[in-house]
Structure 1
């Protein structure tokens, strides 16, 4: 696994280079004490890249990792896919029916109904086998952000949308991409009005069901290299872009930080959490919900990159924050981090 970590580190340097160039010296207020870290050694805990974390309706934690899809039931970790494929996983979704979708880098999408797997690839209509994000819209369609564009699956067939320069166009000829493309979709969400927001390695777009439109700020500037888009409880749209962290309030734009965000989360108390790139590592930040209306909200650096790169973040039912990193998964209870360290990693 170490050799894969080294390969991925090189890949990250390329992917995040524009983020890194945009980082300025931290202007944030920080806590006075640094949270301690407790190591808990458990078999099958992920010891490598954990890119996405979700919690299912039963309370289980699911992780898309380079070692497979790993499920944590509160006591033990189980690798769900190790007997099916050796693919590296980047994304995971539980749909409204309780079934799961797992996105890989190079092997398409795996559908899991709790008993069996089904693999969807370009041979079955998926636009590209590199799947970086998965989202279910209000109509029950499953969207896959892939290298080169996006695919929408209605339960029977795919409709594909290809990034073409500064536009996204629907494909009508059944085109697919066998290899990684220069642009791709990083994130997809649907807001309260039913409009889709799509972040790519190029521009950010909105989609009203008919037309893709480049999203621009009041100065007419497009948001570039958007890795995360999030809608908070008030309906504001947050974007982690190449030039920083932005909040869109329907007519006005507020730039909260010069630092972009790989992931954005609103917790039960209304605080906003981000995993922000700083050089070759990341910071886990918490924006105080009560001060978000201020021009300079109170921000705490919860962790300053000591766990290498931060990726997906999740608040579980108990209020703990889970963080996927380049070396596995951590859980933060507000006072200390618990690092779930695999027994295999002890050898």
Structure 2
């Protein structure tokens, strides 16, 4: 099957795992406990651990090949031998995403504390003993006070012009521009997830429709029954130009004209590996007690058949979240309690004693 040449990549975050009510006079450690879902003893262990031990929403790769892991307790860098918590001096944010931009700078998005920026060039000079003023010697912190649309920044995206997007906020290196319905957008909760090769912008919104903007018009995509795809968590373009995405009802494929439901399995995250296989993480059943999540691989040779061959790599609980194929072909995936690596034969749980050696 030859798909039309459609370019897109789309990842929409899901509903927060905890619904927090406003509280007053609550000790800071109790707030932290509530955010992470960890017990007090688990929190202490995670805070001092040499590996990620809390929820990992996203896993990325740095330009030098290092693995970047965004966890609730901190953002870690794995150099092939050991982990380093590169945000150890920042206390209390629950991190959701991490990005190394084209200039080698690092961005960290949090659920509750805005965005942090680490200037690689300036901090390299600082590490060499050169004096740098104030924030330039460490992390810069952006919040609502600095023009960010909200302190909940769950996704980072860099567009072709070098702008950095945090949900509805676009940062051009000097200031933020926030987009709302006043700008003609269908929602005030939009998230830019992709600028495709034709210049179109792909957006999603929590619990709402996904849509694409061609520079003039916003178009909400709908299936053959006329129903819009809501709460889309992830979307990629495969090597043939087809679009794969997951919504509340399963995994879908779009060839530019027709939507095909591929599986009932949920797709919180989707990637295509170097061999053309499609990988997903997601729930196999509707929300509820005993819900089973899995890491699944759809075989490249059967992707366009009526029933693609699916191999379940790992199932749980816990829930499995962000996905990455590293340069060496290994598959990394986040979970509710840490990060895993699959080398094609063995799954390494870095929380275990064996995984920390």
TM-score range, shorter chain: 0.7 to 0.9
Structure 1 residue 218 displacement after superposition: 3.4
Q: Distance in 1 between matches of 2:352 and 2:299?
A: 34
For residues 88-127 of structure 1, give each alpha carbon's deviation from its aligned partner in whole angstroms, at most 9, with x where no partner exists: 1001111111111110011111111232311111111111
Q: In the TM superposition, what whole-angstrom CA distance separates every residue of 1:166-212 from its partner, at most 9, and x where no partner exists?
A: 9536xxxxxxxxxxxxx845661222322122222211111223443
- Look at both structures and tell me which one has the larger radius of gyration over its CA atoms: 2
**Structure 2 counterpart SS, 1:246:** strand
Shift of 1:2: 11
Please name the residue that 2:171 is paired with. Answer: 153
- The 5 Å alignment of 1:125-274 reads 125-145=147-167, 150-162=168-180, 168=186, 184-185=189-190, 188-201=193-206, 202-274=208-280
Q: CA RMSD in A?
A: 2.7
Residue pair 1:192, 1:235 contacting (<8 A) in 2 also: no
Compared CA separation, residues 336 and 5, structure 1 to 2 (3 A): farther
Contact 2:292 2:316 in 1 (8 A): yes
Q: 1:54 Cα shift?
A: 0.5
**Normalising to structure 2: TM-score of the pair?**
0.76
Alignment correspondent of 2:327: 317
Distance of 1:262 and 1:224 partners within structure 2: 13
Q: Which has the higher strand share?
A: 1
Going from structure 1 to structure 2, the CA distance change for 1:98 and 1:47 (only over 3 Å counts) comes to same
Q: What's the secondary structure of 1:70's corresponding residue?
A: strand
Gaps of 5+ in 2: 1-28, 39-47, 124-137
Cα gap change, 1:101 to 1:342, in 2 (>3 Å): farther
| 1:85 Cα offset (Å) | 3.0
Q: Deviations 1:146-173 (Å, cap 9, x if unpaired)?
A: xxxx111121222212369x9536xxxx
Decide whether aligned partners of structure 1 residues 309 and 3 sit closer, same or farther in structure 2, where only a CA change above 3 A counts: farther
Comparing 81-90 and 308-317, the one that deviates more: 81-90
Report the 3-state secondary structure (helix = DSSP H, G, I; strand = E; otherwise coil) of the residue aligned with 1:341: coil
Please give the alpha-carbon distance, in whole angstroms, between the structure 1 residues aligned to 2:189 and 2:294: 25
What is the rounded CA distance, in whole Å, between the counterparts of 1:311 and 1:162 in structure 2?
Answer: 29
